[in-house]
Amino acid sequence: MPPHHRLGDSCVIRVMLPVENRRLCKSIEVTNQEKTRDVIVKAIKKFQMRGYKPEDLELVQIITQDQKLRIPDDANVFYALKTTDVYHVVLRKYTFPRRTPAKQRSSFSLFHRKRSESKA
């Protein structure tokens, strides 16, 4: 199968994991039966991300520099992807609270940003 293309009932996506000032990339095969959680679990294993839970992460397809598509939690990823020549997907820390209150969520982020130190 050509890298990052659909062929029958599967496709290969390029999953990027931002870490500090670089991006790690892995290719993952996705079938037409896999939901978002299944693909996130594959990515967690492929990147050897110990201590991460699928519910704390999300998949975002990079369509263009200005266009991004968040893959819904309950979606069939194969059908949710926007058809492009190459499937680039970012695996990142979920950006909004979802199943647990914010106080119980981890403060660690894959996209660590420094907070502004200036006070109003």
Residue 1 banded pLDDT, cuts 50, 70, 90: very low
Cα(89)–Cα(13) distance, integer angstroms: 7
Phi then psi for 16, rounded to 5 degrees?
Answer: -110, 135
CB 68 within 8 A of CB 52: no
Phi then psi for 19, rounded to 5 degrees?
Answer: -135, 115
**Per-residue pLDDT, 47:** 95
Cα(100)–Cα(58) distance, integer angstroms: 15
Average pLDDT (67-84) is 93
**Per-residue pLDDT, 96:** 65
Residue 113: both structure tokens together: 């940003």
Q: Kindly report, residue by residue over 19-71, the tens digit of the pLDDT.
A: 888 889 999 999 999 999 999 999 999 999 999 999 999 999 999 989 999 99
Cα(74)–Cα(48) distance, integer angstroms: 23
* Percent of the residues in the chain that have a pLDDT greater than 90, as a whole number: 59
**Per-residue pLDDT, 99:** 53
Residue 97 banded pLDDT, cuts 50, 70, 90: low
